[in-house]
């Protein structure tokens, strides 16, 4: 059986925190889908196409990584792409409490899909897309928090 994983998020924008989790998860899976979730409660700063382009550029030449856009339940996206794992990054203890609730719900809906948590490296603990967007809104320099592909587009 192939180990296929979905790493869901908004990736608005893709940060070094995201790529840290992705890069460290790659050896664990045969295929890693980056799932750009449509969240009707959030108004994204960057278009879906832009976020897809970033992921495709960052991971070009890596057949194990593929980006998809989805709406609805994450477990439904997993079923559609054949993923039996969901990957989530954890920065703080409260992230874990929040994510565990979602993982428990997902497991109730789809018993065959396992959620795995990776903690981010200490240097990325404060890197959240929300904070990056706030700094960007006010014209601040966020290049230290973003992959080169993202920095090039934002400037």
Taking the domains of the chain in order of start, what are their residue ranges? Answer: 4-154
Determine the pLDDT at residue 40. Answer: 78
- Residue 76 CA, chain-centre distance (Å), reads 17
Q: Which of 38, 42, 80, 152 is catalytic?
A: 42
18 counts as catalytic: yes
Q: Which of 24, 31, 64, 91 is catalytic?
A: 91
Nearest to 38 by CA among 25, 55, 53, 51: 51
pLDDT in tens, 123-134: 988 888 989 999
User: For the chain, what is the mean pLDDT?
Assistant: 94
CA 56 – CA 59 distance, rounded (Å): 5
Compute CA distances 77 → 18, 69, 71, whole Å.
19, 9, 8
Q: Beta strand 114-119 with 65-70: parallel, antiparallel or unpaired?
A: unpaired
Determine the pLDDT at residue 39. Answer: 78
CA 9 – CA 74 distance, rounded (Å): 10
Average pLDDT of the residues in 18-39: 96
117 torsion bin: left (phi>0), alpha (psi -120 to 50), beta (else): beta
91 counts as catalytic: yes
pLDDT in tens, 102-113: 999 999 999 999
CATH class of 4-154: alpha beta
Q: What is the pTM of this model?
A: 0.94
Determine the pLDDT at residue 151. Answer: 96
């Amino acid at each position: 059986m192939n180990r296929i994983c979905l790493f869901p998020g908004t990736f608005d924008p893709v940060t070094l925190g995201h790529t840290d989790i992705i890069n460290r998860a790659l050896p664990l899976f045969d295929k890693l889908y980056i799932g750009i979730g449509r969240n009707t409660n959030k108004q994204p700063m960057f278009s879906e196409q832009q976020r897809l382009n970033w992921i495709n550029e960052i991971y070009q030449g890596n057949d194990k990584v593929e980006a998809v856009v989805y709406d609805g339940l994450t477990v439904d996206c997993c079923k559609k792409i054949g993923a039996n794992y969901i990957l989530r990054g954890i920065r703080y203890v409260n992230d874990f409490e929040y994510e565990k609730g979602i993982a428990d719900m997902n497991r109730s809906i789809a018993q065959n899909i396992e959620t795995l948590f990776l903690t981010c490296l200490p240097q990325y603990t404060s890197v959240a897309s929300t904070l990056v967007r706030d700094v960007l809104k006010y014209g601040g320099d966020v290049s230290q928090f973003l992959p080169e592909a993202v920095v090039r587009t934002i400037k």
